Amino acid sequence: MEDTVRACKTCMNTYFQKEMNVLIVTLLIVSNAMRRLKKNRHLQHDLCDESYDIAKISLKEQDL
Q: How many residues comprise the chain?
A: 64
pLDDT number for residue 46: 64
pLDDT tens for 5-45 read: 787 888 888 888 888 888 899 999 998 888 887 777 666 66
Most confident of 2-6, 34-38, 58-62: 34-38
Which string of DSSP letters, residue by residue, matches 2-56?
HHHHHHHHHHHHHHHHHHHHHHHHHHHHHHHHHHHHHHHHHHHHHHHHHHHHHHH
